[in-house]
Structure 1
Amino acid sequence: MSDPVYPKPRPDAPLVVFDFDHTLYDGDSGGHLVQWLIRRNPLRILAALAASVLLGPMVAFLPTRRRGISGYIWIGTFGLHGRRGFDAQIDRYVATHKEEVRQRLLPVALETFRKHRAAGDRVVVATGAPPELARAILSFVAHQDVPVIGTAVGPRFGAVVATRHCHNEEKMRMLRERGYGDIAVAYSDSSADLPLLKAARVPVVVNPKPGRIDMFRRALPPGTQILNWGCRDRGGTPTA
């Protein structure tokens, strides 16, 4: 079966921004990648366990999250030289986990994604995951041509680390730098994406943590949809 052909969006078409993890994909795609990188080597496993005393709390708090994530990526990529080697490992991970990764793509989310593209909207994915990872996963469902803005990585001390985390306010800066400023609709699960959701004329919360629902209701306009697209451990109104 041939891939669907979508209309080329007009420059003035509505801009629709999708988060990736827990929005299009059930889980933390970058976390799954880094776990795979670490688990391939017993020494990396020991290093990650020892470093978790420091890195775990850093990941848990927004101001230090990028450094904590960078620490785990550094452990998982020690010995790689630059982004090209890291992207090759991403492609290897996706190729060897095809079925597992494919099953994590949420059908309701993908149908919403497809409808926006079929309507001629400008659709962009903005994610905290590495962009090569999101693009490789989206290629399973014929959306590899959609622009992806994600966390930038680069070499540091013999490994690869996150040099710019596409997260919170930084995600908005990265979108604007690429010319994506006037957002019609935004979809995300994360409280860290409040800047993105607030910037959209129509924010849609999908698959939020149950404990965050009241916060979203207070922070976003009355009537904002809070939906569940198939993440069983998340909140929101189920969507058929």
Structure 2
Amino acid sequence: MNVYDFDKTIYDGDSTIDFVFWCLRRKPQLAVRLLRGTVAFGGYLLKLCSKTTFKEKFYCFLLSVPDVNNWLEEFWDEHQEKIKNWYLQQKQETDVIISASPEFLLRPICKRLHVQNLLASRVDRHTGMYMGVNCYGEEKVRRFKKMFDGPVDAFYSDSLSDAPMANLAKRAYLVDGDNLIAWEE
């Protein structure tokens, strides 16, 4: 089976940031709630709070989104074209997408791509609160092993923070734009 990171790997950009700006264009008053996230980001950089705490404060803008499910579908109507062609040409239904992005954000695009296997951060789509650990680094490996028994044929990511997942794979690739580069250990 092939395993893929999502943002900047098979998606051209950061889907969470794109979704936030998309929401802001629809409802500019969300900026007030997002200010809390900006302050929390400063706290995270200064190591005054965890990445999860920062992200929960950031995602609190969801409290003011009137119909999250509908907005997600409309967002992906406009952003599905950002799925990279190299991925579309090789994708399989058995693919696993594993990401630190919120599961609620990626579930609709996975459904559209006919990808059934998604492991991502569990975040409440209405409150922004985490329902578990951020799916990042070693947590990706833990979640993968909990769900799947078989080997990873190939792993793709844009980030060296995914080295733990790359180490599980027979082959691993760093993704730089549309370039796939063999992962060096």
Give me the TM-score of the superposition, normalised by structure 1.
0.62
Q: Classify 1:180/1:19 alpha carbon distance in 2 versus 1 (closer, same or farther; 3 Å).
A: farther
CA RMSD in angstroms, aligned pairs only? 3.2
Question: Could you give the per-residue CA deviations for residues 185-211 of structure 1, whole angstroms, max 9, x where no partner exists?
Answer: 111111221111122121111127xxx
Once residues 13 and 82 of structure 2 are traced to their aligned partners in structure 1, the CA distance between those partners, rounded to angstroms, is 7
Q: Secondary structure at the match of 1:78?
A: helix
Q: Return the alpha-carbon distance in structure 2 between the equivalents of residues 187 and 60 of structure 1.
A: 31
Partner of 1:151: 121
1:187-206 matches, within 5 Å, as 187-206=156-175
Decide whether the 8 Å contact of 2:57 with 2:128 is kept in 1: no
TM-score (norm 2): 0.78
Kindly, what percent of the aligned residue pairs are identical?
23
Structure 2 residue matching 1:186: 3-state secondary structure: strand
Residue 168 (1) aligns with residue 137 (2): yes
- Cα separation, partners in 2 of 1:16 and 1:59, compared to 1, 3 Å: farther
* Equivalence map 1:130-145=2 (5 Å): 130-140=102-112, 143-145=113-115
Secondary structure (helix, strand or coil) at the match of 1:153 reads: coil
SS in 1 for 2:128: strand
- Counterpart CA distance in 1 for 2:91 and 2:37 is 38
Which residues of 2 match residues 107-146 of structure 1 at below 5 A? 107-114=85-92, 122-140=94-112, 143-146=113-116
Asked if structure 1 preserves the Cα contact closer than 8 Å seen for 2:36 and 2:58, the reply is: no
- 1:2-21 alignment to 2 at 5 Å? 15-21=1-7
- Residue 20 to residue 73, structure 1, CA distance change in 2 (3 Å): same
In the TM superposition, residue 56 of structure 1 has moved relative to its aligned partner by 4.5
Tell me which residue corresponds to 1:106. 84
Which segments of 5 or more consecutive residues in structure 2 lack a partner in the other structure?
none
For structure 1, which runs of at least 5 residues remain unmatched after alignment? Answer: 1-14, 222-240
Residues 35-86 of structure 1 show CA distances to partners (whole Å, capped at 9, x for unaligned) of 444555444312323541332562798x932222221112x12268xxxx9x
> Max radius of gyration: which structure?
1
The 1:96–1:37 alpha-carbon spacing in structure 2 relative to 1, beyond 3 Å, is same
Label 1:50 to 1:179 Cα distance change in 2 as closer, same or farther (>3 A).
closer
8 A contact 1:70–1:161 mirrored in 2? yes
- Structure-2 residue corresponding to 1:232: none
Q: Decide whether aligned partners of structure 1 residues 66 and 191 sit closer, same or farther in structure 2, where only a CA change above 3 A counts.
A: farther
- Any residues of structure 2 matched to 1:206-225 within 5 Å, and which? 206-207=175-176, 220-221=184-185
Conserved in 2, the CA contact under 8 Å of 1:39 and 1:45?
Answer: no
